[in-house]
Amino acid sequence: MAPVARASRSSPSRCRTRSARARRLSDARRAASSSPHRPLPPNPGPRRSTGPTPPFDPARTPTRVTPGASRPRAARPVWKLRSPPDPHTVRDLEHSLKLPAPLCRLLAVRGYTEPAAARSFLRPLLTSLHDPALLLDAEVAARRIVHAIQRDEMVVVHGDYDADGVSGTALLTRWIRALGGRAEPIVPDRFRHGYDLSRPGVERAAARNASVLVTVDCGIAALEPVRLAADAGVDVIVTDHHAPGPCLPDALAVVNPNRPDCSYPNKDLCGAGVAFKVGQLVARALGQPVDEAWNYLDLVAVATVADQMKLQGENRVLTRYGLRVLSQARRRGLAELMRSADLTPGDPVGADAVAFRIGPRINAAGRVGDAGKALTLLLTGDSDEARRLASLLERNNAERRDLERRTAAEALAALGESYDPARDRAVVVVGEDWHPGVIGIVASRVVERIHRPVVVIALDGEAGRGSARSIPPFDLHGAISACSDHLDRFGGHHQAAGLDIRRDRIDAFREAFQGVARERLGNEEPRPVLYVDAEIGLGEIDLELSRYMRYGGPYGRGNAEPVFMARRVTFARPPRVLKGGHLKFRMLQNGSGLGAIGFRLVERVSLDAIANRPVDVAFTLLENTFRGVTTVEGRVVDIRPAE
């Protein structure tokens, strides 16, 4: 590999606040100095918002909820049945692939009309992954890490505190160590340090005598901390996937597929995915066999699913093979975490298990506890420590669920007092003393209920911390950026964002944010859309079909689990309402039957509207194993009176 060099820059610009001197200290200077670090300047204190400050109106900021307050009813989806495929195309696929007709109809509907394309989709190969060298600055980053490994320099890996950041930090730390380097991982404390690389993170890296500081899943907006680290003699490599601002940090390398000047084909890599790509280049330069890289894909899969990245193209390949590695439970920490989540190490693991069991437990540490414990769990080789930490994360997750349930109830009740679906295109909900670790999940729950962009703000004194979630057509990061004059700081994606705000700026921010939403969403009331892939008869459904459907996975955002529709079905008996608002019933059609369950369906389906009449049911397929016997049933997405 060539010597370390700085890449040329074009767009976006760098906010250069120091001269180009001392990008990297020379070898001689490092050797001559007893410490390679220069002291950090005094802490300037927290950043304050600027500009005029309108009066704060407490009446517009509900902080306490009256018991029994009304909650908005869940938004009803609009059903859209995809156009039926050409029958000849379906028959050709059946003949060539020897697959059931419903699966071939689904392949054709999703655009895989040629047998070769369908075969590649059903059996994707690792050879289809993009060359990591296509990532701008990735080779610069890899050369510096290789240099550090060869010279026994300390590399500090600084991640975010969520499942993506923790997984990516564990991945890169393990990989550098496996290649013979020295690496120390750190993640911030949500409550003491806040989000992103910050001054405390730089100080922790300097205290470990770091020559190189690599960020994972953060750093793209950390302009000042990156400058501080560089001034202290630390080479900074930013690896991130969040949307960049108008200026990039003045780091040795900024590896981010979402840089406007980066031509990498996959813009939906998660933070751990970006770190994996850099790791591939490091391993390649040091002559590690290519196959060794695949051992880290379990961590990429966990991060990709937990961060809700699109499961298309390269991401789907990384996740599919990563889930296979995960099922082997090679890491003691992940094996114990799986056991605590009622999963059996060695059994197949699906994306659902990551999304609803593994990911939330890793995230819970950063939400209500110490993300460093989750990081240690992913790194440990000690079985006793793994069991202890998995048990701790289980307790964190139970606490998270309780906080989430109570906060979501308060947020929905507060919303019910003022929300007007005909008027409001976006909402900002504010509460006193809400736990900042769960407001992101609460924002998602509110979006599920009302189908609007939502910002949930937890107030603590005069400071507020917010988390935002969006609906598919609305660029949340762009909208919040347009209102950034009212914020201390913010960052995120098209569909999720975080922000810090002062109490006295909330009303102005709310007005600005709602104005942007009205402008960009228009006058038509947003409603969720339920895309139905294909009609199916209940008699066509069996366990064989369900198992073939696995080849289309992993399913998730961007590769939605196929939704089938059975027309004019009846209930064998009235649906049962289970705890949690779930519906359970058996549906009948032309002499065939299928058991079904609809999770939290009571929130949006009126039982009176579907009683004693034929209905159309939209559902996915779900395998259920009881006492060693596996059957297939429907996981109901929605029900409507038959048309």
- Token pair recorded at residue 249: 């940090």
Q: Domain residue spans in the chain?
A: 58-74+418-521, 79-108+530-641, 132-392
Fold category of 58-74+418-521 in CATH: Diaminopimelate Epimerase; Chain A, domain 1 (3.10.310)
The distance in angstroms from the start CA to the end CA of the chain is: 66
Instruction: Please report the pLDDT score of residue 28 as a whole number.
Output: 33
Q: Over the Cα atoms of the chain, what is R_g?
A: 26
Backbone region of residue 581 per phi and psi (left: phi > 0; alpha: psi in -120 to 50; beta: other values): left
**276 backbone dihedrals φ, ψ, rounded to 5°:** -60, -40
Fold category of 79-108+530-641 in CATH: OB fold (Dihydrolipoamide Acetyltransferase, E2P) (2.40.50)
Residue 498: which H helix or E strand, with range?
strand 496-502
CB atoms near residue 527 (< 10 Å): 13
Instruction: Please report the pLDDT score of residue 24 as a whole number.
Output: 41
- Taking the chain (643 residues) in consecutive chunks of 10 residues, what is each chunk's mean pLDDT? 41 48 38 43 41 36 44 82 95 95 94 95 95 98 98 98 97 97 94 84 94 97 95 96 93 98 98 98 94 95 96 97 96 97 93 96 95 97 97 97 95 86 93 92 94 96 95 92 93 89 96 95 89 95 94 94 96 92 95 95 87 94 89 96 90
Instruction: Please report the pLDDT score of residue 54 as a whole number.
Output: 37
- Tens digit of each residue's pLDDT (9 = 90 or more) over 438-497: 999 999 999 999 999 999 999 999 999 999 999 988 999 999 999 999 999 898 888 899
**Residues 6 or more apart whose Cβ sits within 8 Å of residue 428:** 454, 455, 457, 506, 509, 510, 513, 514
How far is residue 558's CA from residue 267's CA, in Å, rounded to a whole number? 13
Residue 631: which H helix or E strand, with range?
strand 629-641
- Token pair recorded at residue 260: 């406007």
Beta carbons of 549 and 534 less than 8 angstroms apart: no
CB atoms near residue 474 (< 10 Å): 19
Supply the CATH classification number for the domain 132-392: 3.90.1640.30
> Going by DSSP bridges, is the β-strand pair 496-502/529-532 parallel, antiparallel, or unpaired?
unpaired
How far is residue 432's CA from residue 460's CA, in Å, rounded to a whole number? 6
Instruction: Please report the pLDDT score of residue 580 as a whole number.
Output: 85
Q: Peptide bond preceding 345: is omega within 30 degrees of 0, i.e. cis?
A: no
pTM of the predicted structure, to 2 decimals: 0.85
Instruction: Please report the pLDDT score of residue 10 as a whole number.
Output: 39
Angle, CA of 403, 492 and 168, to the nearest 5°: 80
How far is residue 441's CA from residue 401's CA, in Å, rounded to a whole number? 10
For residue 56, the Cα-to-chain-centroid distance in whole angstroms is: 34
- Tens digit of each residue's pLDDT (9 = 90 or more) over 129-158: 999 999 999 999 999 999 999 999 999 999
